[in-house]
């Protein structure tokens, strides 16, 4: 029964069809642009996801290479650490030698200073002696010169001195011999 009622009502029912409203040119451009933007945005997201997956794969490859490189560098790092320990030991030894050298140099400096002071005192004493000897020599030379002058005068007075040559007169010349070659 209800089916019959529905059939009777179906004849009176108006069927409505949706008709899109008419759009202006601007609205049409906006509608198309929105659709293209949605499509482009979807493509951009797909490209970004693909790029991120590619970057992830490259990062995993790089991580593997870095792990391999680190494994190769570990023995070198151990050797470098051992060498640095040896260098520290050598530096400690050198510092100890330098400290010993400082003590030795200080002792030698004290000895050199003491020797220099003693040598300077001896040089001063020698200078005083040489000055005294020079003064005595000067006095002796003065006395000797005076004595010699007195002896010369005494010898002349007594007639024992050198005889002077008499000057020749102008006409008393000797003939000079000439050489013939």
Write out pLDDT tens, residues 84-131.
999 999 999 999 888 888 888 888 999 999 999 999 999 999 999 999
Report whether 161 contacts 155 (CB < 8 A): yes
DSSP assignment letter at 177: P
pLDDT tier at 14, thresholds 50, 70, 90: low
The pair of three-digit structure tokens given for residue 37, joined into one six-digit string: 């933007």
Task: Report how many domains make up the chain.
Answer: 1
To which residue do tokens 């990062």 refer? 59
pTM: 0.34
Report whether 45 contacts 53 (CB < 8 A): no
Side-chain half-sphere exposure of 29, counting CA atoms within 13 A: 3
146 within domain boundaries:
yes
Q: What is the pLDDT of residues 68-80, one digit of tens each?
A: 998 888 888 888 8
Q: How far apart are CA 152 and CA 146, in angstroms?
A: 10
- Could you tell me the residue range of the domain that residue 117 belongs to? 24-155
47 within domain boundaries:
yes
């Amino acid at each position: 029964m209800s089916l019959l009622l529905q059939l009777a009502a179906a004849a009176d029912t108006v069927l409505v069809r949706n008709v899109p409203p008419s759009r202006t040119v601007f609205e049409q451009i906006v509608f198309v642009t929105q659709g293209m933007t949605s499509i482009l945005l979807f493509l951009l997201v797909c490209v970004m996801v693909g790029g991120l997956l590619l970057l992830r794969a490259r990062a995993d490859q790089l991580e593997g290479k870095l792990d391999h490189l680190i494994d190769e560098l570990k023995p070198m790092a151990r050797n470098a650490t051992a060498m640095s320990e040896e260098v520290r030991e050598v530096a400690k030894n050198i510092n100890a030698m330098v400290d010993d050298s400082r003590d030795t140099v200080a002792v030698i400096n004290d000895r050199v200073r003491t020797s220099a002071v003693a040598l300077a005192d001896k040089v001063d004493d020698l200078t005083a002696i040489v000055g005294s000897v020079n003064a005595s020599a000067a006095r002796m030379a003065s006395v000797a010169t005076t004595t010699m002058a007195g002896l010369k005068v005494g010898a002349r007075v007594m007639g024992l001195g050198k005889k002077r040559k008499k000057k020749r007169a102008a006409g008393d010349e000797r003939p000079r011999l000439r050489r013939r070659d």
